[in-house]
Structure 1
């Protein structure tokens, strides 16, 4: 398991924990406050590095506070997921319509109906 001493946790898991702490706080947090809010026992430098990487990716923003920064998410969880979906679609080198068709094929009937509703609502 990743929690065993000496083993590394996936970066995505750690980033998700940091983002969850920022979203639930509803207010900007310092690296120390993020560290205290997450369940993993991480070094201060690890949390600071994760926050810096999230800032470089444009997922969180920061502002000066005291001798450091406080961090806050740029988007909510839903907005971030949509952003990732757009990024994946933008990386398609070939037929975007084929990728979208495969995506729709994989949707549950409920999700497909919701997507249709949203598309109709947006084109009205």
Structure 2
């Protein structure tokens, strides 16, 4: 799922605050310091996308991330691979750039998927 800059910054803030945040706190903490009304618009969009949940606390809403960051990262990776003209070349180039830790994580995930994990 593609996210705009403000949507991504909002999600990053919510992932950093799993206890949830109010819109005015989110607005004040974002680097661009958008108006609270702008943040509320973004939160409504993210809620409709199923990425954010909200619960009423007094007269305001407390917003929380409804999806884990790894879900969004995995979707972005899948979209990037889908957009590759030459999938094999893209994967090879990517694999050539990863750290040993990432390579090990890839091997482990593929082994689990293929049922060959020991």
Fold match by TM threshold 0.5: yes
Instruction: Answer yes or no: is 1:105 the counterpart of 2:92.
Output: yes
Unaligned runs of 5+ in 2: none
Q: Distance in 1 between matches of 2:10 and 2:61?
A: 15
Instruction: Answer yes or no: is 1:78 the counterpart of 2:70.
Output: yes
**Residues 3-42 of structure 1: pairs in structure 2 closer than 5 A:** 12-42=4-34
Query: TM-score under structure 1 normalisation?
Result: 0.68
Q: 1:102: how far off?
A: 5.1
Q: 2:44 aligns with which of 52, 56, 64?
A: 52
User: CA 1:112 to 1:60, structure 2 compared with 1: closer, same or farther past 3 Å?
Assistant: same
Tell which has more relative contact order, 1 or 2 (C-alpha 8 A, sep 6+).
2
Q: Report the aligned-residue RMSD.
A: 2.6
| 4+ residue segments displaced more than 6 Å | none
Query: TM-score under structure 2 normalisation?
Result: 0.71
More off after superposition, 42-51 vs 12-21 = 12-21
Q: Deviations over 1:4-58 (max 9, x none)?
A: xxxxxxx711112111211112211111111122121211110000111111111
Q: 2:54 aligns with which of 53, 62, 65?
A: 62
Unaligned runs of 5+ in 1: 1-10, 93-97
